[in-house]
Structure 1
Amino acid sequence: MSEAAGPLGAAGHNVRRNIRRLREEHRWSYRDVEERLLRAGRVIPALAQSAIDAGQRHVDVDDLVALAMVFDVDVDDLLRPPAACRTCHGAPPHGFMCMECETSALPTA
């Protein structure tokens, strides 16, 4: 990840967790997603997807739209906190971060 991009924010973490969840639900490998993205006209190599999954690569707007198309979900669905967390249900208390899914409700500055 480049220094200029900075660390992922809450929305970036939501996107990476939702992409991982959807990929696992479909039982697709990174390569499977790469091939589907190529057919959709967007290139995100398997290695880059792995970096997204690890929070080491940002997802730009074009990536976000293509991933939503490939997974057949709305862009909003990728941006929302994952609701499937058994601990916080995607909504930890204000000022806290869930240790299971890493969703945060940290105060804004």
Structure 2
Amino acid sequence: MPTQDRRERRNPIGPTTRTVGTNVRRFRSEIGMTQADLAKSLAANGHPIPVSSIGRIETGDRRVEVDDLMALSLALGITPVALLLPGARSPRDHVELTGWGEVEAGFAWGYVLGTRDLVDVVTVDDDGQPTAPMAARAYPLWAEDEMKRFYGLDQTTP
């Protein structure tokens, strides 16, 4: 299959890709790191990304794979979440989330931190019991019981 055909079938680059690029450039500049420095750091950590690709990430012309996201965040000394969301000045500022549209920045941050559901929907399982909200499911399995207790979904709690 020709390369052109594959590219046409891919989703277009969206707001999250552009935001990650903007944030890579912002955080890199804040710590006085050049694109070449970042490329060296990534290579030293076992996830090489060429300088030219870093430039394309920063301009939103190259997609960022999840492994890239993790490696970039480690090299920049920030969390992956800090790369994913726009650097809004106020929680009331509107930001765009891929697949959702515009939401307030505070709402978006609550969502990615696992403290806020995007949709307030109560769902039930096959037995008619309420399922845990997204925020309760956003944590690792070892924290599941604690989160269920927090949200009042633990049937053993009096």
TM range, normalised to the smaller chain?
Answer: 0.7 to 0.9
RMSD between aligned residues: 2.5
Structure number with higher strand proportion: 2
1:57 matched to which residue of 2?
62
The one-letter amino acid of 2:35's match is: Y
Query: Amino acid of the residue matched to residue 92 of structure 1?
Result: H
Q: How many residues align?
A: 93
Q: Deviations 1:62-82 (Å, cap 9, x if unpaired)? A: 100000111111111111112
1:5-30 per-residue CA deviation (whole Å, 9 max, x = no partner) reads: 44321211211111010111112111
Counterpart of 2:94 (choices 69, 88, 92) is: 92
How has the CA–CA distance of structure 1 residues 32 and 7 changed in structure 2, closer, same or farther, with 3 Å as cutoff? Answer: same
Identity of aligned residues (%): 29
Runs of 4+ that moved beyond 6 A: none
TM-score of the superposed pair, with normalisation by structure 2: 0.52
5+ long unaligned stretches in structure 1? 95-103
Query: Would you say the 8 A contact 2:13–2:63 is kept in 1?
Result: yes
Gapped regions of structure 2 (runs ≥ 5): 1-5, 104-158
Report which structure shows greater RCO (CA 8 Å, sep ≥6).
Answer: 1
Aligned residue for 1:56, secondary structure, equals coil
Say which one has the larger Rg. Answer: 2
